[in-house]
């Protein structure tokens, strides 16, 4: 989308948002029907060593610009008591929410849930760069791509690796098998088997966003609410 159209649509978008919500910034709860897979991920914080191989693989696979990232590993600590002491690692990336504020506030439909996969994605051809989705995302994982001028974020490698029948690049790159990816609608998927056998939590679940990023807590770390 060219820049003049983006500027025009930003103005129109502000009106659209207020018209939809009544008050700018009010949250909207909607149900979006998914008729295919429901891809999700587990980050096992008890296995993660913070090597950032996942971050590097993501950048390379998805041509993420230097000034942005789709995935961060945030280190905290040290925690525990000597000699049982270590750092903890928290994955910051899109949660692929089933009730995604970024989708609800988007005035153009550029931000959407792909119905075949349940993955929250962005259509750069429809994005006007208004940044409503960036403001609405409680996980702060979106950015404006400096080249395309479109909002962007993790898409579970939907358009790169998944399109070739491969796993997301972060999952493939992880040397500790700390990332598990799969379809929640398939009872036999690795992720469902893992979810039956591991205690997990979801970050900011209380917001009602229904995040599909599950986390196995590090026994040394306090679970983030
Ligand atoms: S984490 Fe943010 S960008 Fe991702 S689906 Fe949820 S609200 Fe949207
Ligand atoms: S994807 Fe985000 S930046 Fe793009 S039009 Fe939608 S709300 Fe605006
Ligand atoms: S590649 Fe695996 S072990 Fe390394 S930081 Fe990422 S999730 Fe953690």
Domain extent for 40: 3-216
**Model pLDDT, residue 86:** 86
| Confidence grade of residue 211 (pLDDT, cut at 50, 70, 90) | very high
Measure the CA–CA gap between 35 and 185, rounded to whole angstroms: 10
In a domain? residue 224: no
Rounded average pLDDT over 67-76: 96
**Of 2-11, 34-43, 124-133, 185-194, which gets the smallest average pLDDT?**
2-11
pLDDT surpassing 90 at residue 178: yes
In a domain? residue 67: yes
| Confidence grade of residue 4 (pLDDT, cut at 50, 70, 90) | very low
Which residue's entry shows tokens 């296995």? 47
Question: What is the full DSSP assignment across 107-159?
Answer: SSS-EEE-TTT--EEE-TTT-----HHHHH-TT---EE-TTT-SEE---TTTT
Mutate to test the pocket of ligand 3, among 46, 47, 48 (most ligand atoms within 8 A of CB): 48
Question: What is the full DSSP assignment across 82-112?
Answer: TTEEEEEEEEES----SS-HHHHH-SSS-EE
Number of structural domains found in the chain: 1
In a domain? residue 74: yes
In a domain? residue 100: yes
For 148-176, the pLDDT digits (tens) are 999 999 999 999 999 999 999 999 999 99
**Model pLDDT, residue 31:** 54
Mutate to test the pocket of ligand 3, among 50, 55, 88, 215 (most ligand atoms within 8 A of CB): 50
Here the CATH number for the domain that contains residue 203 is 3.30.70.20
In a domain? residue 119: yes
Ligand 3, residues at Cβ distance < 6 Å: 48-54, 73, 89, 173-174, 176, 178-179
In a domain? residue 178: yes
In a domain? residue 222: no
In a domain? residue 221: no
Six token digits for residue 2: 């060219």
């Amino acid at each position: 989308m060219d820049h003049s159209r983006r500027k025009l649509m930003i103005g129109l978008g502000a009106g659209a948002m207020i018209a939809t919500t009544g008050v700018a910034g009010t949250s909207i709860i909607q149900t979006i029907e998914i008729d295919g897979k429901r891809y999700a991920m587990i980050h096992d914080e008890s296995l993660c060593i913070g090597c950032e191989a996942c971050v590097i693989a993501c950048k390379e696979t998805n041509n993420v610009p230097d000034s942005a990232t789709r995935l961060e590993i945030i280190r905290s600590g040290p925690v525990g008591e000597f000699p049982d002491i270590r750092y903890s690692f928290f994955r910051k990336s899109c949660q692929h929410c089933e009730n995604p504020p970024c989708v609800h506030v988007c005035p153009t439909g550029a931000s959407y849930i792909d119905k075949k996969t349940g993955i929250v994605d962005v259509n750069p051809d429809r994005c006007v760069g208004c940044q409503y989705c960036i403001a609405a995302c409680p996980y702060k994982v979106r950015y404006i791509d400096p080249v395309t001028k479109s909002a962007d974020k993790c898409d579970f490698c939907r358009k790169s690796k998944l399109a070739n029948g491969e796993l997301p690049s972060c999952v493939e790159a992880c040397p500790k098998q700390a990332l598990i990816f799969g379809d929640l609608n398939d009872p036999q998927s690795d992720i469902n088997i893992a979810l039956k056998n591991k205690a997990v939590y979801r970050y900011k679940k209380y917001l009602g966003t229904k995040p599909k990023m599950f986390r196995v807590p590090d026994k040394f770390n306090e679970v983030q609410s």
